[in-house]
Amino acid sequence: MKKQVKIIKEFLMITLATAIVAAAVFFFLMPSHLAVGSISGFSIVVGNFISLPISVITMIFNVGLLILGFLLVGREFGGKTVYTSVLLPLLIGILEKIFPNHTSLTQDPFLDMICYLFTVSVGLAILFNRNASSGGLDIIAKLMNKYFHMDLGNSMAIAGMAVALSSALVYDGKTVILSVLGTYLNGIVLDHFIFGFDNKKRVCIVSDKEEEIRNFILHTLHSGATIYEAYGAYGLQPKREIITIVDKQEYKSLMNFIEKTDGNAFVTVYTVHKIIYRPKI
């Protein structure tokens, strides 16, 4: 029963995330005709040559790519990818029925691009954190990875830019530039949404006040730490290095304490995007 409830919650979150992506495409991408790197963006361009709704064109591309992926890559596309690939155009189609004469909310293509980037990144971040995707370009990237031996990240970037540049077939220079710029910024903003909110800091400390700092980490911050034996290269004097991982608030408290306790401490700080840790019970 618990497993079933977990699966239901998982697909509810994926449905919500896909709905956010669909809203971003419909309310911000379509009115300004921006072909920001995605299958939906390419469908907007193709819609100028085929008299079909964008939702139908997106569905045709997504289903076609899924079939192509299964035939050429194999069964690497799980149920989540199939689900979102079909759900996204369906949701866009529903919005087309509800708002048949929809126009830009901002009346400015640049603002539409900015709104799209932040809105779609929320949806995509939720999908990626649940090991799902919106399909489309992901499948093209896997095909390029298999047959051209290209890195997946580079494959996604090339596919996205190709979509953005395709807007030159039907739109003016401003729209093309905004599409290319939006495609580039989309990756940056998405990385921020995926990695930026839960970043932690790895702090490495060498100090003569080691005991005071260690006690502060353990008993005030209630965090853990690891201590390594280290030697200075110049004098080969033995030192002990404290390494701890803290969140943003703990980091501020720790740095303030170190500054007050030992102004001569040697401290290095690194950003940590992910921690895998299962405490023993």
> What pLDDT digit, counting tens, does each position of 22-60 carry?
999 999 999 998 888 889 999 999 999 998 999 999 999
Q: Where are the domains of the chain?
A: 2-196, 200-272
Domain boundaries 200-272, CATH class: alpha beta
User: What pLDDT is stored for residue 5 in this prediction?
Assistant: 82
User: Shortest CA distance to 40 belongs to which of 103, 105, 106, 84?
Assistant: 84
User: In the numeric block, which tokens belong to residue 140?
Assistant: 């093209």
Distance from chain centroid for Cα 48: 30
Does residue 246 contact residue 201 with C-beta atoms inside 8 Å?
yes
Least confident of 42-51, 68-77, 183-192, 207-216: 68-77
Does residue 21 contact residue 138 with C-beta atoms inside 8 Å?
no
Q: Quick check: 214 pLDDT over 80?
A: yes
